[in-house]
């Protein structure tokens, strides 16, 4: 009985860690703020260079 409780706790801890990892590392795919992938994908090469130079 005690082993089942430890196993369930381990599974819950692993699931919580996986969800936290997903939330931290997922790309921002919404909006057009300057930190999102769609924003940078929509720029031309010269616009990217100008943003980094400024």
pLDDT level of residue 1 (50, 70, 90 thresholds): confident
Q: Are 29 and 38 in contact (CB under 8 A)?
A: yes
Q: Which residue do the tokens 């931290």 mark?
A: 24
pTM above 0.85? no
Q: How do residues 13-52 score in pLDDT, each as one tens digit? A: 999 999 999 988 877 666 667 777 778 888 999 999 998 8
Residue 33 belongs to domain spanning: 2-53
Q: What is residue 8's three-state secondary structure?
A: helix
- Measure the CA–CA gap between 15 and 37, rounded to whole angstroms: 27
Domain tally, the chain: 1
Tell how far CA 28 is from the center of its chain.
7
């Amino acid at each position: 009985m005690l082993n089942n409780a430890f196993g369930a706790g381990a599974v819950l801890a692993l699931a919580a860690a996986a969800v936290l990892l997903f939330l931290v590392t997922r790309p921002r795919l919404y909006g057009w703020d300057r930190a999102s992938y769609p924003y940078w994908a929509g720029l031309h090469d010269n616009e990217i260079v100008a943003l980094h130079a400024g």
